[in-house]
Amino acid sequence: MNEQQNNPEQIPSGSVTVQKAPARPSTGQGLIQALQRPLPAAVAILALLLAVQTWSSHSRINTLRRDMAQSLQKGNAVNAETAALAREVSDMTKELQIKVGVLESRQSEAQTQQLALEQLYQDLSKNRDEWALSEVEQVLSTASQQLQLAGNVQGALIALQNADRSLGRSDKPQFLNIRRAIGADIERLKAMPAVDLAGVALRLDNVIAQVDTLPMLSDEKPLLPAAPSRSTRKPAGSAAAEPAPEKLSLGQRMVQTWRNWSQEMWDDVRQLVRVRSVDTPEALMLSPTESFFVRENLKLRLLNARLALLSRNEAAFRDDLASSQTILLKYFDTRARATQSTLAALRQVQANNLSIEMPTLSESLNAVRNYKAKQ
């Protein structure tokens, strides 16, 4: 069918086809066609050259890119190595600074120790007499304070004897005046009346410990009735020897029962009412709570007396002891032996004299200071 379309003049099938011969081109057209034949080849060559040039340029650009990328990678690696080296240098610098600081601190400590050793050497190079006098002055000052504040006569005596012994070891005649003053103070302390503060305080502690066991007037209870006497058991052999009790009549049994019942009733009535003479009736009416507070108040009074004793406050000491005795006489059963012994102990404690004026060690201290001032 295509052949029919391309050749419209072709005769249908079944008939003889007669095809016209093509017309020959003219001479001008042939020349033009001859000239146009090399143009596609040139264009193809030119295109090929352009393609080659493009591929060459592209390959060069790719090569440059690879070179640049490699250069950048090398530059990054160099930068990383440089940064690592910089960090290492920084860490080493910090470590060196720390070591330098440690060395400087050790040097300063060494200098301080050297100065301390020099000062110690200078102190040790002083005169022994100055050291001995300084020690004696310190001991005497401490003993004087203890004597005035706490009344520690025995401690002051020991301090003075040690100071005199320390000066005696030097065996120098210039210390005779000081030793003479110390001896006078020793004799003055030995002549003082002794007060056993520790013993008195121990007695007060014993009294405080017995307060909870002392009987109070409000704690007193009625006496229990006497238990009926029971006949002692006798051996079986003796029972046959005794005569059998006589049989009582009805009236006698009733009289005996009435007597026994009335006796028991009278015993019970006697326990209900008791008559006693008490100077302070309110002491019998204390409740258990009030009794507890009375005991605690007595303990506080005794503790205050103990503190006043140790601080040598005689007025407070005697006032607290008097208040404690008043509480004992008012609220506690003075007929009990424990209460009587407690009152006797408080009277013995109250008999101690605390108003003793303690001497000062000013004579010995002044002798030491005057000698040091002359040096």
Residues contacting residue 363 through CB under 8 Å, at least 6 positions apart: 181, 184, 185
Whether residue 24 contacts residue 13, with contact meaning beta carbons closer than 8 Å, is answered with no
pLDDT at 228: 47
Overall pTM > 0.85: no
Residues contacting residue 167 through CB under 8 Å, at least 6 positions apart: 132, 136, 175, 178, 179, 182
pLDDT at 227: 46
pLDDT at 3: 41
pLDDT at 12: 43
pLDDT at 245: 52
Q: What is the DSSP string of 55-89?
A: HHHHHHHHHHHHHHHHHHHHHHHHHHHHHHHHHHH
* Spatial separation of the C-alpha atoms in residues 175 and 258, rounded to whole Å: 103
pLDDT at 160: 83
pLDDT at 355: 60
Q: Which CATH architecture has domain 128-192+358-374?
A: Up-down Bundle (1.20)
332 φ, ψ to 5°? -110, 155
Show pLDDT as tens, one digit a residue, over the chain (375 residues).
444 444 444 444 444 444 444 445 455 565 556 555 667 778 888 888 888 888 988 888 988 888 888 888 888 888 888 988 998 998 999 989 999 989 888 888 888 888 888 877 666 655 666 777 778 888 888 888 777 776 677 777 888 888 888 777 776 777 788 888 888 888 887 777 666 677 888 888 999 999 988 888 876 554 444 444 444 444 444 444 445 556 667 778 888 888 888 888 887 776 665 555 556 666 666 778 888 898 999 999 999 988 888 777 778 888 999 999 999 988 888 888 988 999 998 988 888 766 666 677 777 888 887 877 776
* Annotated domain spans of the chain: 64-125, 128-192+358-374, 195-220+282-355
pLDDT at 166: 79
